[in-house]
């Protein structure tokens, strides 16, 4: 359970709240303990109406004995002499203590849950920010659903563990200890039994907790797969329906769902055994204490009322300790997500530090560049050498899987070369600040990134400081202003999740507007015009041509886009096989000729 306790240390970040929560638990427990102690004189006056003493006489006798306890004379003077009035006073005191204890208990639970929620929010925020800074290949390799599951589901389970630890366990422990202390005051022999039973109980609960923890870890892994499968099938519901794949998807879901059930059921035995074991041990302990007490009563060494109070206090202690089995199960269950959360937090993030990088104004160069994806058998980029002048527009073409997207992904350092150097203006990108590099690069991909929010918010992603006029100008340049103006609320119109309320072309035009708004010195268009009509494509191409002080890399399957570039890079199996203008490549490069015939789509009127 080390990972759970490691993350539990974050509770100390709000030390004041933690101390106050624990203090309230002790106040509540103290009220219970004093209330139980006050039952002693009450029972003595009720059970011995003839020979008993009033509260004043009892206090005077305590002071006369000269023991540890001493009642101030001011209090002695106001204590009632009548035994009935003494009982009434004690009952009123118990009522007051109960009210104080209930208030303190409420405050303890309220503060504990608040502290747990705030701590989990901090951990969740830290985890999310850490995932954002992970190298892209790690997220791609493991899958987004795995990280989403840990950010959402694992932190929720961890919060239940925090609440059990700080709220329930502290409350039950303090009450149990207070009641046990009262029982010891009435009959010290209880200490002997507690010393014997405590380690045995701890050993049994530890074994059960270990099993619960293992089952919880397996369940979280299976639930992560369930989340991934659900996201993929629901988000791709259109493809599922048109492929008549509903039955296949249902069967796949059933397989993973059964795995979740399997791990959940692994925990049932340990969880189900906890309470019966606690109850059995409690009966054994009470039976042993009853035998000890009976022997003392028969010998005349223990007054009957002290026996009742001792057993009653012990019963209250047992009732307080009984829920600890379930609490330990909750904490054990939380140990698995804590381990998974720490696994992510321990992963190395991108190195954001580096030397300042001035705005690109000279050249971009790939020198002997290789890149291999983790666990891939062959590299995706092989020995690439390419020099690009500032302001040049470069088209990259090639068969699917030829390494085009991987190559341009090296520019914003989404991936780092396995070998070789990528440089801008003669500066190795591996040595520069990520912020300086990426803030001057605009990227538009085929799958446009659209979030639930307004049109203006989507265009201004990454640029919260821009004005509305700048947003509108970028939309006009990307040929998006036309459809935006037709929406009921214009730029304040809300977009559905994943941009579902927009067409593919509209989403891409917003993404292009976002890139233009950045005023990049380096623009990367990866199939950016694949979902727009020829008229819009021509307008966008014109807007791109009008961007000054910018080097452009274009991956496209449209012939018009390719012809609009200064040079064309032809790639195959990760290598550059030829570079040159369209006219020079025709006839000289067999692969380019084939691409012209089979892949590069002519403009449709």
pLDDT bracket for residue 386 (50, 70, 90): very high
* Orientation angle between helical segments 190-235 and 324-345, nearest 10 degrees: 50
- What percent of the chain shows pLDDT beyond 70? 69
Residue 364: per-residue pLDDT: 96
Q: What per-residue confidence (pLDDT) applies to 397?
A: 93
Local confidence band at 92 (pLDDT 50, 70, 90 cut-offs) = confident
Element housing 388 (H / E): strand 381-389
Higher pLDDT, residue 8 or 278: 8
Give the residue with greater pLDDT, 134 vs 304: 134
Q: Which of 205-209, 305-309, 372-376, 554-558 has the lowest mean pLDDT?
A: 205-209
Residue-wise burial string across 529-543, b where 16 or more C-beta atoms lie within 10 A, e elsewhere: bbbbeeebbbbbbeb
pLDDT of the residue at 170? 81
pLDDT score, position 446: 79
Q: Per-residue pLDDT tens for 445-492? A: 877 788 788 899 889 988 888 899 999 998 888 888 888 988 888 999
Express each pLDDT in 27-60 by its tens digit. Answer: 888 877 777 766 665 555 555 555 555 566 666 6
Statement: residue 604 has pLDDT above 50: no
Report yes or no: 177 and 30 within 8 Å, Cβ to Cβ. no
Tell me which residue has tokens 């014997």. Answer: 196
Q: Do 59 and 207 touch, CB atoms closer than 8 A?
A: no
User: Which of these ranges, 20-29, 62-71, 124-133, 521-530, has the smallest mean pLDDT?
Assistant: 62-71
Kindly tell me if the per-residue pLDDT of 84 is higher than 60.
yes
Local confidence band at 149 (pLDDT 50, 70, 90 cut-offs): confident
pLDDT for position 285:
67
Which of 392-396, 499-503, 553-557 has the weakest average pLDDT?
499-503
Q: Could you tell me which residues come within 8 angstroms of residue 148 by beta carbon, excluding any fewer than 6 positions away?
A: 227
| Model confidence at 238: pLDDT above 50 | yes
- How long a stretch of residues is the chain? 605
Q: How much is the pLDDT for 260?
A: 76
Among 248-252, 277-281, 340-344, name the most confident range: 340-344
Domain ranges of the chain: 2-217+266-345, 353-440+520-605, 451-514
- Asked if 2-217+266-345 and 353-440+520-605 have one fold, the answer is no
Q: Which residue has the higher pLDDT, 538 or 69?
A: 538
Confidence of residue 1 (pLDDT cuts 50, 70, 90): low
Residue 395 pLDDT exceeds 80: yes
- Name the residue with higher pLDDT: 511 or 91: 511
Indicate if the pLDDT at residue 600 is higher than 90.
no
What superfamily does domain 353-440+520-605 belong to in CATH? Answer: P-loop containing nucleotide triphosphate hydrolases (3.40.50.300)
Portion of the chain with pLDDT greater than 90, in percent:
20
Residue 261 pLDDT grade (very low, low, confident, very high; cuts 50, 70, 90):
confident
Residues 273, 265: Cα–Cα separation, whole Å? 13
Q: State the average pLDDT for the chain.
A: 79
Lowest mean pLDDT among 106-110, 160-164, 223-227, 579-583: 223-227
Handedness of CA 325, 330, 333, 339 (dihedral sign): negative
CATH fold of 2-217+266-345:
ABC transporter transmembrane region fold (1.20.1560)
Q: What is the pLDDT of residues 9-18, one digit of tens each?
A: 998 999 999 9
Could you tell me the pLDDT band of residue 304, with boundaries at 50, 70 and 90?
low
pLDDT tens sequence across 185-236: 766 665 566 556 656 666 665 666 666 666 666 776 777 777 777 776 666 6
- The DSSP-derived string for 287-323 is HHHHHHHHHHHHTTSS-HHHHHHHHHHHHHHHHHHTT
* 120-139: average pLDDT: 87
Q: List, for residues 509-518, the tens digit of each pLDDT value.
A: 888 888 888 8
Residue 270, CA distances (Å) to 209, 312, 314 in order: 7, 30, 26
Q: What is the pLDDT of residue 506?
A: 83
Burial of 164 (0-12, 13-18, 19+ CB in 10 A): buried
Q: Is the pLDDT of residue 367 over 90?
A: yes
Average pLDDT over residues 336-354: 86
Are the C-beta atoms of residues 603 and 559 closer than 8 Å to each other?
yes
- Regarding predicted confidence, which is higher, 445 or 330? 445
């Amino acid at each position: 359970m080390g990972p759970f306790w490691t993350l539990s240390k974050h509770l100390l970040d709000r030390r004041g709240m933690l101390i106050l929560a624990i203090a309230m638990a002790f106040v509540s427990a103290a009220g219970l303990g004093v209330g139980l102690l006050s039952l002693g004189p009450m029972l003595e006056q009720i059970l011995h109406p003839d020979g008993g003493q009033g509260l004043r006489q009892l206090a005077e006798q305590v002071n006369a004995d000269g023991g540890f306890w001493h009642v101030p004379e001011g209090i002695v003077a106001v204590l009632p002499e009548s035994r009935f009035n003494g009982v009434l006073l004690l009952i009123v005191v118990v009522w007051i203590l109960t009210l104080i204890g209930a208030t303190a208990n409420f405050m303890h639970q309220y503060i504990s849950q608040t502290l747990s929620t705030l701590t989990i929010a901090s951990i969740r925020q830290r985890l999310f920010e850490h995932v954002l800074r992970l190298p892209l290949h790690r997220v791609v390799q493991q899958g987004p659903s795995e990280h989403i599951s840990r950010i959402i589901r694992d932190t929720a389970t961890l919060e239940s563990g925090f609440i059990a630890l700080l709220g329930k366990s502290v409350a039950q422990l303090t009450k149990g200890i207070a009641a046990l202390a009262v029982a010891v005051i009435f009959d010290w022999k209880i200490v002997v039994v507690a010393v014997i039973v405590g380690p045995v109980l701890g050993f049994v609960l530890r074994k059960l907790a270990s099993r619960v923890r293992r089952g919880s870890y397996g369940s979280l892994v299976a639930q992560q797969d369930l989340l991934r499968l659900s996201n993929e099938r629901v988000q791709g519901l259109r493809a599922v329906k048109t492929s008549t794949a509903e039955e296949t998807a249902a069967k796949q879901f059933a397989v993973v769902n059964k795995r979740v059930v399997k791990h959940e059921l692994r925990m049932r035995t340990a969880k189900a055994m906890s309470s019966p074991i606690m109850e059995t041990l409690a009966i054994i302990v009470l039976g042993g204490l009853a035998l000890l007490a009976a022997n003392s009563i028969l010998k005349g060494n223990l007054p009957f009322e002290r026996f009742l109070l001792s057993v009653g206090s012990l019963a209250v202690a047992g009732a307080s300790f009984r829920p600890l089995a379930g609490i330990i199960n909750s904490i054990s269950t939380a140990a698995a997500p804590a381990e998974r959360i720490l696994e992510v937090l321990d992963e190395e993030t991108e190195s954001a530090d580096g030397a300042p990088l001035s705005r690109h104004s000279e050249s971009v160069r790939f020198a002997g560049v290789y890149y291999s994806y983790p666990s891939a058998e062959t590299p995706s980029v092989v020995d690439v050498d390419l020099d690009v002048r500032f302001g040049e527009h470069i088209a990259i073409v090639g068969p699917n899987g030829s390494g085009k997207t991987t190559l341009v992904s090296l520019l914003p350092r989404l991936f780092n070369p396995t070998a070789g150097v990528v440089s801008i203006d003669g500066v190795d990108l591996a040595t520069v600040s990520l912020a300086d590099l990426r803030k001057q690069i605009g990227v538009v991909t085929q799958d446009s990134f659209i979030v639930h929010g307004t049109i203006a918010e989507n265009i201004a992603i990454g640029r919260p400081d821009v004005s509305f006029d700048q947003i509108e100008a970028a939309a006009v340049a990307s040929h998006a202003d036309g459809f935006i103006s037709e929406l009921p609320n214009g730029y304040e119109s809300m977009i559905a999740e994943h941009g579902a309320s927009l067409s593919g072309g509209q989403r891409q035009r917003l993404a292009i507007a976002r890139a233009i708004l950045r005023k990049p010195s380096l623009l990367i268009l990866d199939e950016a015009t694949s979902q727009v009509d020829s008229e819009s494509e021509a307008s966008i191409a014109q807007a791109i041509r009008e961007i000054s002080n910018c080097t452009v890399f274009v991956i496209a399957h449209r012939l018009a886009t390719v012809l609009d570039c200064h040079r064309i890079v032809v790639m195959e199996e990760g290598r550059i096989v030829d570079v040159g203008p369209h006219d020079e490549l025709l006839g000289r490069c067999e692969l380019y000729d084939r691409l012209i015939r089979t892949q590069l789509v002519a403009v449709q009127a």
